[in-house]
Structure 1
C-alpha cells in the first residue's frame, strides 16, 4: 500500500507545491495588530477550512470573539478550526495541531525574493510560512489526500486543530482546548505537532521535550524625574548602578546561574539520555560558523546540546529607562527596569523559581544599603514539556522515519518554548509528540525562510507512513 501512496505523492508533488504557493501568498501576519493583516488571517482560515471540507472532513470554525489591545483597538480573533475525518471505533484517533499565521516579512528586510511569493531555487522553496507552519500543515493534508485519491482506507481517524494566532501567543487557544476536552478531544488517542525543525540539514529528528520560560522585570526607582549627573552624581544611590549590580549577580561568565537552589529540581542525567546525545548529527564547526559566534561556552557537541536542552539558562534582555541613543547625554536615570528570563527544564517549578529569584535579588539589593525602591515582577511563566519516548506514538514515528528516510531519527529536544505541547499534555492527558519536517537551516522567523522540496514531499510520505505504523502499534 505504502509504495502506491509514495508513488502518488511523487507524481503530484508539483500540485502540492502549487497549494503551498497559494497559501504563502496570503499575508497572514498575526504579530502586527492591524485590521488588514487580521483580514488576511481570516481569509487563510477560510481557505484551509475549504481544503479540509474537500477531504470530506466535518469542519467547525469556532468564533473566538474579539481582542482588546493596549492601544484601544478592538480586533476580531481569527477562528480556530476543529475538523474530523472518520469515526471508526476500531481505529486510533490522531489529532494534528498546526497554525497558519506567520511572522512579519518585507522584501526590504533583507529577503532575496518577495516573501509572499513562493520561489524555488536549487530545490529550496522560499517564502514566509513555508516551514513555519503552512508547509507541515499541507503535508499532513497531502498524506490524507493520497489515501483518498487511491481509494485506500485511512488506517486512523483524523482530527485537526488549526489556529491563526500562534505567533501572537495563541490567544484563547488554551481556553478552547479546556472547553473541548470532553467533546472534540474525548476520543483522541495521539496528538502530533509539527512546528519545529531538525537539528541537521539532512537527518530527520523526533522531538521529545521543550524548555519552559519564566520572564522577570526588575525595577529600581528613586523618583519620577531624571537627575543631572553634575548636580547629583556622587551624592545618591543611582538606580542604574543598583540595577547593573543586580543583573550582574544572576549569572557568571560560564553561563552558570548564581541564584541559590535554582538547579535543585533539574532532572539528573540518565545513562540512556547521555547515549542519545552521542548519536545526534551535529557538525559543531558548521554550527558555530553558521551562528557567527567566535567561541561557545562549551567545547563538545554533547555539552552544548545538554546546555541548550536539558539545563536551565538565564538571559538578560534589556534595560528600560536607560539612555540608548547616539551622542553623550549625562543624565542619571531616576527609574530603570531590567528584563531577564530563565529557560526552565523538567522538573523545575515556576512558583518555586519565582520565590528563589525574588529572594536572591532582594538579598543582593539589601547588601547595597540603597535608599532606592526595588520591585521584582514575574511577567510570564510557561512550564517545560517532556514526553515518554517509549510510548506507542514515538515508536511508530521512528519506524515511519526509517521507512521513508532509511535512517533512525535524532532524538532531540528544543531549547525554545512551545506552550501548546504542555497545554495538550496537561488538559487532554494523552500522548503528545513533536514530529518536525523542516531542516535546521530553514530560517523560521528570519529573512529567506524556506522549506526544501525534499522535506516537504518526503514529509508528506512520512505522515502517510506514520498513519499505518501507529494503527499497527495501537492494535
Structure 2
C-alpha cells in the first residue's frame, strides 16, 4: 500500500533512532506533570502541562506557539507555515489533560513516575494522549530531515486542549472563537488507536452522542399500595413501560424518526469490517459480558461502530432496602443515552426523543426532562484522498503492511472540528487495546510509539499531493 520510497523510509528511521533517547526523556518529563482536569486541585498542574508543551513546541521549531485560555483549562495552539505558498494546511488535534490516577487504584508503580519495562512505558497519559500528541514533535523534524526542507511541506497547526477527559465543556466555544486561526484543509486526530500490534489500522469515524434525564413525580410522598395502588399513577411503573417500549423485537430503537438520514454501511465497508481478525469470545471477555445482543442483521463490530443505539444508563425509584415495603413511590428516575452515526442530527434526535417520552407520561404524573450537551458524529468516506494518504503513511511506517479501516464506537470533540471548520477529520494513532486507557497501569508500546513518529513524518510529505488532487 505504501508509495513512500525506501530511501525516505530509511532516512526517517535513521533520524528517529538518533533522537530516540532525547525524545523519550522529554516525554517522561511531560508525563510527570499530573494534569488531571477533573480534579480542581490539579488546575495548576494542567496549566503547567500547557506551559511545558508550549516550550517543547517552540523548541521543536514552531515559530508560533500560544496558550489559549478558556473558561476552564488552557489549550495550546502552534503553527509552522510551509515555505510553499500553495501548500495545504493541516490541523492536528490532541489533549494534554489525563484521567485521575493513584497508586492505590491498582497501579504497580507511581502513575506519574514513568517506568519502562520490557519496551513499555507505564504512566498515566503515556498512550492517552500525551504520547500520541508528542510523537508529532519528532515526526515533523524527521520529515524535514528526510526531505531536506527547512519548513514542513504542509502548513502545520496543532490544537491541544486541556479538558478532553472532563468532557471538553468549552471546546466548541474555543474552536468557534478561533475558527479563522484554526482553518485547515484537513484535521488529524491523534487521540485514537489501532486494532492490534500486528494489524495496523486507520479509524474513519466516531459516533456522536445525545443523552437525557427524566424525573417523574406521582404522589407527594410514598403512599400505601393497598389503600391507593391501582387507583393512582405509579411513576416507577411508567418508567418501566418507557424502558420496555424503547426497542422492538429486533432490538431496533422504536422512537419514530430515529433512523432518518442514517448513512448506511456500503457492501465494501461491511467486507472491510469482516476482514478484521475479530475474536468475539475475547471481545466478550473484555466487555465482561456473557453474550452478544443488538440490532438484527448486523455483526457485533457493525453494531458498535456504524449503527445508532439507545441505552438505559440508569433507572431508579421506590424502595430499595431489604425486605418489602408496599408503597406507590413518589418518584422515579431514568437516564438514557443515544449513540449517533453519520447522517443523524443531534437536535432532531433530541426533539424525537422528547416527543416520544412525553407521549408516554400519563395524566397525574409530573415530569422534568433535561438533555446534556450533544456531540455530533463524524465520518470520512473511504475514498477520500486524505484518508488514503494517512493509510499510505501508516503502511510506510509498518514496512508496507496492508492498512485496514476501523471506526470508533465512542464519541469525542473531533466532530466539533469537522462541523465548525468544514474540514475532513482523519485519525492517526498507534495505541493498542492493551494500553489500558483510563485504567491502572496505562502504558504505551515504545516500538509502536516510534511507528507513530514515522507515520507522522511520512504523512506531511504525502498529504500535499493528496489534498491538491481532491
TM over 0.5: yes
In 1, the alpha carbon distance for the partners of 2:344 and 2:70 equals 35
Q: Encode CA deviations 1:449-471: one digit per residue, 9 max, x unaligned.
A: 21111211111111111111113
Aligned residue for 1:73?
none
The one of 164, 167, 170 aligned to 1:169: 167
Note if contact 1:221-1:374 (Cα within 8 Å) is conserved in structure 2: yes
Q: CA deviation at 1:429?
A: 1.4
Aligned length: 456
The one of 399, 402, 407 aligned to 2:401: 407
In 2, the alpha carbon distance for the partners of 1:178 and 1:104 equals 29
Aligned residue for 2:182?
185
Partner-residue secondary structure (3-state), 2:387: helix
In 1, the alpha carbon distance for the partners of 2:219 and 2:185 equals 57
Note if contact 1:255-1:313 (Cα within 8 Å) is conserved in structure 2: no
Note if contact 1:199-1:282 (Cα within 8 Å) is conserved in structure 2: no
Q: CA deviation at 1:147?
A: 4.3
Partner-residue secondary structure (3-state), 1:217: strand
Note if contact 2:64-2:80 (Cα within 8 Å) is conserved in structure 1: no
The one of 328, 342, 347 aligned to 2:343: 347
Partner-residue secondary structure (3-state), 2:215: strand
Note if contact 2:82-2:153 (Cα within 8 Å) is conserved in structure 1: no
In 2, the alpha carbon distance for the partners of 1:263 and 1:391 equals 25
The one of 419, 424, 427 aligned to 2:420: 427
Note if contact 2:418-2:425 (Cα within 8 Å) is conserved in structure 1: yes
Partner-residue secondary structure (3-state), 2:313: strand
Question: In the TM superposition, what are the counterparts of 1:90-239 in structure 2 within 5 Å?
Answer: 90-147=86-143, 152-153=148-149, 154-182=152-180, 184-186=181-183, 188-227=184-223, 236-239=232-235
Note if contact 2:211-2:372 (Cα within 8 Å) is conserved in structure 1: yes
In structure 2, relative to structure 1, the CA distance for the partners of 1:300 and 1:65 (3 Å cut) is closer
Aligned residue for 2:74?
79
Aligned residue for 2:21?
14
In 2, the alpha carbon distance for the partners of 1:131 and 1:221 equals 45
Aligned residue for 2:12?
5
Note if contact 2:76-2:158 (Cα within 8 Å) is conserved in structure 1: yes
Matched, 1:45 2:50: yes
Note if contact 1:81-1:162 (Cα within 8 Å) is conserved in structure 2: yes
Question: In the TM superposition, what are the counterparts of 1:221-300 in structure 2 within 5 Å?
Answer: 221-227=217-223, 236-252=232-248, 255-297=251-293
Aligned residue for 2:63?
58
Q: Encode CA deviations 1:184-230: one digit per residue, 9 max, x unaligned.
A: 234x3221111122233431211111111110112210245444667
In structure 2, relative to structure 1, the CA distance for the partners of 1:352 and 1:181 (3 Å cut) is closer
In structure 2, relative to structure 1, the CA distance for the partners of 1:260 and 1:462 (3 Å cut) is same
Note if contact 1:208-1:412 (Cα within 8 Å) is conserved in structure 2: yes
In 2, the alpha carbon distance for the partners of 1:78 and 1:360 equals 38
In 1, the alpha carbon distance for the partners of 2:328 and 2:467 equals 66
Note if contact 1:201-1:441 (Cα within 8 Å) is conserved in structure 2: no
In structure 2, relative to structure 1, the CA distance for the partners of 1:63 and 1:322 (3 Å cut) is farther
Partner-residue secondary structure (3-state), 1:17: helix
Matched, 1:379 2:372: yes
Unaligned runs of 5+ in 2: 1-7
Note if contact 1:124-1:451 (Cα within 8 Å) is conserved in structure 2: yes
Q: TM-score, normalised by structure 2?
A: 0.89
Partner-residue secondary structure (3-state), 2:372: strand
Of the structure 1 ranges 218-227 and 434-443, higher mean CA displacement relative to structure 2 is found in 218-227
In 1, the alpha carbon distance for the partners of 2:191 and 2:299 equals 25
Partner-residue secondary structure (3-state), 2:51: helix
Q: CA deviation at 1:119?
A: 1.9
In 2, the alpha carbon distance for the partners of 1:375 and 1:166 equals 29
Note if contact 1:251-1:257 (Cα within 8 Å) is conserved in structure 2: yes
Q: CA deviation at 1:439?
A: 0.7
In 2, the alpha carbon distance for the partners of 1:262 and 1:241 equals 24
Unaligned runs of 5+ in 1: 67-76
In 2, the alpha carbon distance for the partners of 1:302 and 1:124 equals 36
In 1, the alpha carbon distance for the partners of 2:80 and 2:228 equals 71
Note if contact 1:201-1:440 (Cα within 8 Å) is conserved in structure 2: no
Partner-residue secondary structure (3-state), 1:340: strand
In 1, the alpha carbon distance for the partners of 2:238 and 2:314 equals 15
Note if contact 1:204-1:409 (Cα within 8 Å) is conserved in structure 2: yes
In structure 2, relative to structure 1, the CA distance for the partners of 1:201 and 1:233 (3 Å cut) is farther
In structure 2, relative to structure 1, the CA distance for the partners of 1:30 and 1:340 (3 Å cut) is same
The one of 297, 302, 308 aligned to 1:306: 302
Partner-residue secondary structure (3-state), 1:82: strand
Aligned residue for 2:410?
416
In 1, the alpha carbon distance for the partners of 2:38 and 2:249 equals 34
Partner-residue secondary structure (3-state), 1:470: helix
Note if contact 1:249-1:258 (Cα within 8 Å) is conserved in structure 2: yes
Partner-residue secondary structure (3-state), 1:199: coil
